[in-house]
A and B are shown apart, each in its own frame.
Chain A
Amino acid sequence: MTRRTPTLLIATIAVFAVPAPPPVAAQDYSLFGSVETRGATIYRKDSPVVVDATLRGTWYPSAVTRLAATHRLTLGSDSAPAELLVDHAITAIPVGASDGDGNALTDAFAPAPGSTGSATGTAGTGAGAATAVVLGHEIYQAYVSVRGGDHVALRAGRQRLNWGTGWTFSVTDALHPQSPNSEVEPGFDGISVAYLPSPNLSLEAAIAVQDALATEQLQDLRQAAYISAYVAPVDIALSVVHQYATMLRPGIGMSVPAGPLLIAGEAAFEAYDPRGEVLNTQPLASIGAEYTWYGDLTDVVILGEYIHNGLEETYQEPSAFTVAVTTDAAGGFQRPGRHYLALTAGATATQSWSTEHTLLANLTDESYLVRHDATLLRIPAVDLSAGVTWNAGAAVTEFGRLPQGMVVELGATAYF
Chain B
Amino acid sequence: MSTKNRTTAAISGVITLVVMTVGIAAPEPVSSQDRVLADRSAEDLLILVDETLFPDSFVATFRMTTERPGRRTTEMLIENTHLEGSGTFMEVEEPRRSRGMRFLQKENDLWMYNPRSGSRRAIRLSPRDSFQGSVFSNNDVSDPDYSDDYTAGHAGSATVDHPQLGTVETTVIEARATHDEAAYGRMEIYLWHAVGAAAEELPGPGSPGDVIPVRFDYYSRSGLPFKRMLLLEIGQLAGATRPTVMRMESLEEEGAVTTVRIEALQARDDIPQRLFNQQELTR
Contacts and interface: CB of A to CB of B under 8 A. Distances in A.
A378 B130 contact: no
B133 A349 contact: yes
A101 interface: no
A352 B72 contact: yes
Given A162-B122, A377-B97, A296 B133 contact: yes
B282 A162 contact: yes
A323 to B, nearest CB: 15
B97 A296 contact: no
Contact of A199 (B74, B87, B282, B283): B87
A255 B109 CA distance: 12
B259 interface: no
A378 B120 contact: no
A154 interface: no
A294 to B, nearest CB: 4
Interface string A195-227: 010111110100000000000000000000000
Interface in A139-196: 145, 150-151, 153, 160-165, 167, 176, 182-185, 194, 196
A201 to B, nearest CB: 8
Interface stretch (A1-9, A37-45, A228-236, A398-406): A228-236
B74 A162 contact: no
Interface in B97-126: 97, 99-100, 106-109, 115-116, 118-126
A416 B95 CA distance: 9
A292 interface: yes
B277 A262 contact: no
A294 B126 contact: yes
B133 A351 contact: yes
Contact of A162 (B97, B108, B250, B278): B278
A351 B273 contact: no
Interface in B73-102: 74, 86-87, 95-97, 99-100
A411 to B, nearest CB: 14
Nearest to A184: B118
B281 interface: yes
Contact of B74 (A183, A235, A351): A351
B6 interface: no
A196 B277 contact: yes
B29 interface: no
Contacts of A293: 126, 129
A204 B119 CA distance: 19
A32 B99 contact: yes
Contacts of A145: 283
Interface string A120-152: 000000000000000000000000010000110
A162 B273 contact: no
Contacts of B97: 351, 377, 380-381, 383, 415
Interface in B236-283: 250, 253, 256, 272-274, 276-283
Nearest to A348: B133
Nearest to A183: B118
A350 interface: yes
Contact of B109 (A161, A165, A196, A233): A233
Interface string A361-398: 00000000000000001101101000000000000000
Given A294-B126, A296-B135, A352-B72, A415 B96 contact: yes
Contacts of B122: 162
Contacts of B277: 196, 198-202
Contacts of A260: 126
Contacts of B72: 351-352, 378
Contacts of B276: 199
Contact of A34 (B74, B116, B273): B116
Contacts of A32: 96, 99-100
Which of A196, A204, A297 neighbours the largest number of chain B CB atoms within 10 Å of its CB? A196
B109 A199 contact: no
Interface in B34-57: none
B99 A167 contact: no
Contacts of A163: 120
A381 B273 contact: no
Nearest to A194: B279
A218 B97 CA distance: 43
A30 to B, nearest CB: 9
Contact of A70 (B100, B121, B130): B100
Interface in B143-157: none
B78 to A, nearest CB: 14
Contact of A182 (B71, B106, B118): B118
Contacts of B100: 32, 70
A167 to B, nearest CB: 7
Which of B96, B107, B132, B253 neighbours the largest number of chain A CB atoms within 10 Å of its CB? B96
A102 interface: no
B109 A70 contact: no
B256 A257 contact: no
B272 A202 contact: no
Interface in A227-253: 228, 230, 232-233, 235
B117 to A, nearest CB: 9
Contacts of A23: none
Contact of B106 (A176, A199, A294): A199
Which of B87, B99, B282 neighbours the largest number of chain A CB atoms within 10 Å of its CB? B99
B96 A162 contact: no
Nearest to A152: B274
Contacts of B95: 351, 380-381, 415
Contacts of B123: 292
B253 A296 contact: yes
B207 interface: no
A105 B276 CA distance: 42
Interface string B159-186: 0000000000000000000000000000
B138 interface: yes
A296 B106 CA distance: 23
16 contacts: A32-B96, A34-B116, A153-B274, A160-B120, A162-B122, A167-B121, A196-B279, A199-B86, A199-B276, A202-B277, A230-B109, A292-B126, A294-B126, A296-B134, A297-B68, A415-B95
Given A70-B100, A196-B274, 16 more contacts: A34-B116, A150-B273, A162-B282, A163-B120, A198-B273, A200-B106, A200-B277, A257-B124, A260-B126, A290-B124, A292-B125, A294-B126, A296-B133, A296-B250, A378-B72, A381-B96
